[in-house]
Structure 1
């Protein structure tokens, strides 16, 4: 957790300075100089919708998700996750030591998350199901209309990715869902990765016979594979016959899912099409990234035997294939094929093909590259149910043809998103807006011009076959947070970063507004000033706002070449110093440091990597006592890297690092945090399985202690250590939030009111409101009051509200002139105070205060007689809390 920044205003104390024309001055940049620096070095101030950054990071995002959880192995132990979920259900109540407060939703209810599948109740099209990438299964009874139109359906299984939904025409109480989001199988795509796949794990195919109240596992595989069910098709004439397109092949059940047989042993089946007139004819699309035996297969006996189709169908492509046929013209079939190989060194492109004979022969209708870089991930084709000439295709945007696909015209523009849309308001600035990256579409059986579309921005509807769109995301709380942060003054000052949905800031009442664009990554507040907030897009595209996120200044962009890039992770870390929030550290292969809020940057150790250029920094923790102390965690940029991740410690502002990994487990560290109560204590939080997940050092990394206790054996992502409560710890993991009141000896789940499981990736705390916020990767944000723990600020706190802002004043005595500095500070309660001046070598110059003092306002004068001009450091400490200020004597 990287939210809690010790600043004079919010944590320990405030030294309020007035710059004098003689004597002693604070060494800082004036506003005028700062403006020049921005113009000269940053060169760009942007409003939220103007950011010039890459528009997708799906490949990196999914790779990161699976790699963090599988490292250093090649498989994902889904069974372990399910066992831990069952253990919590059995013992959760007995873990509790007292009554817990209940989490409440923060939304967003106006921004839909990545949605992979959509299915209409065949008996009532107003009832629809949405399968989401990280938020599980959702249902609406209003066709998605309304400000609170959706409800999540719990399955009881430890899975959040739902890629397929199907309902029999004759029984709307029966629902099948396919789990897992998987786009790569074993050693495909030239062996670029040795991961089994890139994506999120699944638990097979689940079935409900009571409209989603209870679920059973109908089809599953060995528990250590990342498997997925991509599509489910039900025979329209025999609803007992169900087909499943899976990562392991095509499976058929003739008894409504009681038993299954693999009838096509080709991996990565991406789609199935059953001819509605002659159900013995079935087509199966296979392959992504040129997986084994990829191609189009046809069965003439209901899926028992298969023949590979090559007549007019491309034989070399890297993307996936999606199929469709109109209900009124089932013998006419369309295929959307991503990244078809081109000849003569030309780039690959998307093919839209058409067959007029049930898929036996094919003709190319268009090579318009509508799927472009999402060829492996997000595209489809949809034939109009009653007009044989009309067809929709989609990839990044939606395209339409009125002549059977021969000419495609783009009919949507994802760039027109409305960053300030409220719940139920138009999500775009024009009628042709729909979020980019399309996964599924279904026609309303009552009106073929009405189409429901699933994309990375949730669920949308078109009433005119693609001419205009309406968002249907009211209450669809499914966004995937990467980070969450809160300010300390304004209870609404909450922000975060989302996968493929920009960075967002809270407006209240479950509404959020987008900023910057692209993939939102890490958001951090200057906790001494809620107006100042930082946000990144992918690959450390860092922005700063001075007006609570209304407008942003780009302060770090490696595309400019200054500073030099040393390579970063997709989600690259940065942190504001708790001692001085003007100091920012950012992590690539090397460490970057700014002392002026990001206006300029230095590399303390040049471009030399902290470990290796193939092992960039993945997490940064900063000391609450010394601006020069930091700890970082590294991780491989790619799964093929053989180096092991490290934990490294620096006490010289990143000029050098010491490897303190010691006997820590070989897992990826997701969070590293200093203890705000002890400068030699810091924590490391690990993802993965099979080892401890939370470790602590109390001697700056010389030795480590596993404090995982009875925590579940699942990937962990974040930790929060409150001030003045060193034995109180909170962690977030793939099952939710856990708390320890005894320094990590024992833990209990703290999940009342959360969806379960809740994949908690980040947490923040507001000391003024006493509330914790969490960001989940698939179910949005939540908040809870921690009043029961009585977490308070330390003794020395801000005086801004109660003390006149004249901490540094100067008086002139009679000739000879003697200059004095008056220092004011406020104590919240009685405390032992030490105020000392040091030179740049760390030598003590003078101790001004060293005694017990009562609560209230205090003043001390420093007479600078005998002090040579130069830079000095003033340190004010009470107990274990300390603030340092650099001062310049002229």
Structure 2
């Protein structure tokens, strides 16, 4: 009777469906050919290009070989027993691709983070500090799926790799968004996550991904895996696998709860070949491509998700997105009431829209086959089997409220015994409803998976103030608590803090949209530079710490402001930078006129430019740097001719420095792992102590780059170290990660390291007493007559005094130095001795 009813409904609905499908294309004038290009695509494209350029794609084995090298040849730093400490945000989750409830105890839930690893909560995600990161033994993994055995809670499978298209068919730069972070295959634990083993070993095929894993409901030894290479099946709990269906880009699996040989697989991603819904009725021996019925798709650009109605097992739903990231959009909600024998289009509400390749699903309540949740950009709910879909975002309309249901939905999970409890995974982490979808609340408390972009900033005087931008999670301000305050909107981008007045804060969102707050981030004013030239999705700008008014902001035209962004002037033409937009920049801490800028290779190779006259002239300083994308620039806080740059790509060094303002470059990264570099900073007192960040974590060199060691204690398996910054007021190193929030670690661990000149000489530079109250004696020795300069700085690089700048004879020398009036008499000062171009530095401490 039910099948007849649904057939009649399909017939009545077909004419409406066919008509509506012809009007699905949404044209917005913000992308290629005037079409809307979503931020998710722009972000993934930018980051993937940085990893691959100048090659078409990353090496298949690049990451794992680098991981093996790091573990074999680069030991852990052993300065002392300190370790990294998490700063949060622990109230803002990052992109989450899957949720799993333990079938034996549904209060135990697992969350698969796109770039922050695997997480677990024993409280159903309810409460504060209720999540823990589970170590898998491998760094920087995108966890795409997690599944717990229906018969044994100790047995857990995870699939790795965030993939949206098949690389063989979309290898060019314009389609590098087919992947987020790489994976290594599938892992299995038999001891509740304590130890893990690779069961699908794609360590040397890291362009692949395992996107869904499902257990046979009657025989947990049988495991299915939907992967980029097709569908695999194991009959021995993952010990061995057989490729049972070779259509690529398998994105989902649905196993009939009454007949486990009846299995459906969804395939598709960015027009991958063979896309569609497939069925086997004999456990994978034979497969049939489903005919989706009148108005249903025969080919589509996005991906497909499927779910069987457990309360009506012959009924299966499919959510199919048409968008390949730009161009034609459209969404088909399809249903079969008879195990796939016939299909029809239930609804064409375009809930996936331009994210049809990226984030959508259909969820069917296991207690009521008429109750559906269709997640896409927004959430829709149906009480009549999908024929009517209503926008459903709860009662919280404030985007900055933690309980606001985030956009871009990736997965849904229903509680097995309570129909009112449902979990949702999206770009903002994890949310839950306890009333069947009437209201929602955040489960992100302690789930530290926020994905920071570059441009993180610290106050130089207040250790409890920091600022940064997040992937699709706005910007956020640290105020000394693990729960950060969310501000602005969009994809948070670069940030800045006025060091003379910390109430003046700068934030931005995509495409160099800059805002300034004069009241600590509560009210904002738009100070966006003009729209001349090309812009990266995440574009840089800097505020000079010298006067805290001069700003530089980068498109392919670099704009300058001398009044805190109230007005802007172009400093170059786009053609001077080959029409390539700025990707990163840094400004001198001692001069408003000295700036370094690196570009993204839209029309030519990545280049590094420098100005020493505030933008009146830009000089190409790329020199002998390899043809890789320059991802970060750090200018020494005292000497703006000492500059460090990191580089992406493979098969070249990822870290260089110059001691002459870019006149020549020195490779100091040859012994680092060969994966893209993302961030660098050196110690402000001991410039030869350098910190470097990549997708494995942080590395440290105590000898000016001659040797390196891992610096990841306290970070679990490691992190994606997107940005490194010094917090001068508490003498900490901070890392803003793309997937695990922010960590900090004390610089005191290296306070006894002596910074000598490049030839290994030690000038015996000391001061005593140290610490002192108002006056101290500075002592040093010379082996020959030489030109000597002694300069005293605060820890932000601000020059306070020059006690000596003259020729001195060989021998021992002493001078008395007293804190000047008007200078703070607490904290740490930096004393740097320069002798004929060679240097040594010490910290002088005040009681």
Does TM, scored on the shorter chain, surpass 0.5? yes
Match of 1:756 among 717, 722, 730: 717
Alpha-carbon separation, structure 2, partners of 1:778 and 1:828: 37
SS in 1 for 2:490: coil
Pairwise CA distance, 1:828? 9.8
> Are residues 1:627 and 2:588 paired?
no
Alpha-carbon separation, structure 2, partners of 1:741 and 1:147: 39
Aligned residue number for residue 514 of structure 1 = 486
Answer whether contact 2:140 2:720 (CA < 8 A) is retained: no
Pairwise CA distance, 1:858? 6.2
Pairwise CA distance, 1:76? 2.8
Answer whether contact 1:708 1:744 (CA < 8 A) is retained: yes
Unaligned runs of 5+ in 1: 1-53, 422-426, 558-562, 796-801, 804-824, 836-851, 860-876, 882-890
Answer whether contact 1:246 1:268 (CA < 8 A) is retained: yes
CA distance 1:829–1:316, change in 2 (3 Å): closer
Deviations 1:865-885 (A, max 9, x none): xxxxxxxxxxxx99789xxxx
CA distance 1:597–1:106, change in 2 (3 Å): same
CA distance 1:332–1:740, change in 2 (3 Å): same
CA distance 1:218–1:159, change in 2 (3 Å): farther
Aligned residue number for residue 328 of structure 1 = 311
Alpha-carbon separation, structure 2, partners of 1:204 and 1:417: 39
CA distance 1:543–1:198, change in 2 (3 Å): same
> Are residues 1:63 and 2:63 paired?
no
Aligned residue number for residue 697 of structure 1 = 658
Deviations 1:184-216 (A, max 9, x none): 222657977364933221111111111111111
Aligned residue number for residue 56 of structure 2 = 74
Aligned residue number for residue 806 of structure 1 = none
Answer whether contact 1:515 1:549 (CA < 8 A) is retained: yes
Alpha-carbon separation, structure 2, partners of 1:445 and 1:788: 50
Match of 2:561 among 587, 594, 614: 594
Deviations 1:563-603 (A, max 9, x none): 23311111101112243321111111111111111111110
Match of 1:580 among 547, 551, 557: 547
Unaligned runs of 5+ in 2: 1-35, 754-764, 767-772, 775-792, 807-814, 823-830, 838-847
Match of 1:151 among 132, 136, 161: 132
Answer whether contact 1:187 1:194 (CA < 8 A) is retained: no
CA distance 1:670–1:828, change in 2 (3 Å): closer
Answer whether contact 2:410 2:425 (CA < 8 A) is retained: yes
Answer whether contact 1:353 1:362 (CA < 8 A) is retained: yes
Alpha-carbon separation, structure 2, partners of 1:124 and 1:673: 49
Alpha-carbon separation, structure 1, partners of 2:263 and 2:509: 44
Answer whether contact 1:631 1:647 (CA < 8 A) is retained: yes
Aligned residue number for residue 700 of structure 2 = 739
For residues 621-700 of structure 1, the aligned pairs below 5 Å read 621-637=586-602, 641=603, 643-700=604-661
CA distance 1:391–1:725, change in 2 (3 Å): same
SS in 1 for 2:634: strand
Match of 2:438 among 467, 471, 482: 467
Match of 1:106 among 78, 87, 91: 87
Deviations 1:603-623 (A, max 9, x none): 022x4333222x211111223
Answer whether contact 1:830 1:854 (CA < 8 A) is retained: no
For residues 604-615 of structure 1, the aligned pairs below 5 Å read 604-605=571-572, 607-613=573-579, 615=580
Aligned residue number for residue 524 of structure 1 = 496
Match of 2:820 among 848, 857, 864: 857
> Are residues 1:85 and 2:67 paired?
yes
Alpha-carbon separation, structure 1, partners of 2:91 and 2:701: 35
Match of 1:128 among 83, 86, 109: 109
For residues 245-284 of structure 1, the aligned pairs below 5 Å read 245-284=226-265
Alpha-carbon separation, structure 1, partners of 2:94 and 2:37: 16
SS in 2 for 1:751: coil
Aligned residue number for residue 817 of structure 1 = none
Alpha-carbon separation, structure 2, partners of 1:219 and 1:647: 42
> Are residues 1:385 and 2:385 paired?
no
Pairwise CA distance, 1:646? 1.4
Alignment coverage as a number of residue pairs: 743
Match of 1:564 among 524, 527, 531: 531
Pairwise CA distance, 1:305? 1.6
Q: How well do the aligned residues superpose, as a CA RMSD in angstroms?
A: 3.0
Match of 2:523 among 541, 551, 554: 551
CA distance 1:455–1:691, change in 2 (3 Å): same
For residues 765-784 of structure 1, the aligned pairs below 5 Å read 765-784=726-745
Answer whether contact 1:281 1:300 (CA < 8 A) is retained: yes
Alpha-carbon separation, structure 1, partners of 2:732 and 2:116: 24
Alpha-carbon separation, structure 2, partners of 1:463 and 1:597: 47
CA distance 1:287–1:578, change in 2 (3 Å): same
> Are residues 1:370 and 2:351 paired?
yes
Alpha-carbon separation, structure 2, partners of 1:490 and 1:630: 26
SS in 1 for 2:67: helix
Alpha-carbon separation, structure 2, partners of 1:445 and 1:196: 35
Answer whether contact 1:111 1:479 (CA < 8 A) is retained: yes
TM superposition score normalised by structure 2: 0.83
Match of 1:215 among 196, 205, 224: 196
Pairwise CA distance, 1:153? 0.4
CA distance 1:196–1:591, change in 2 (3 Å): closer
CA distance 1:685–1:340, change in 2 (3 Å): closer
Pairwise CA distance, 1:71? 1.7
Answer whether contact 1:591 1:609 (CA < 8 A) is retained: no
Name which structure has the greater RCO, CA cutoff 8 Å, separation 6+.
Answer: 1
Alpha-carbon separation, structure 1, partners of 2:47 and 2:752: 33
Answer whether contact 1:731 1:739 (CA < 8 A) is retained: yes
Alpha-carbon separation, structure 1, partners of 2:308 and 2:693: 45
Alpha-carbon separation, structure 1, partners of 2:139 and 2:800: 47
CA distance 1:317–1:89, change in 2 (3 Å): same
> Are residues 1:446 and 2:417 paired?
yes
Alpha-carbon separation, structure 2, partners of 1:237 and 1:389: 26
Answer whether contact 1:485 1:763 (CA < 8 A) is retained: no
CA distance 1:579–1:791, change in 2 (3 Å): farther
Range 461-470 or range 373-382, more displaced: 461-470
Aligned residue number for residue 756 of structure 2 = none
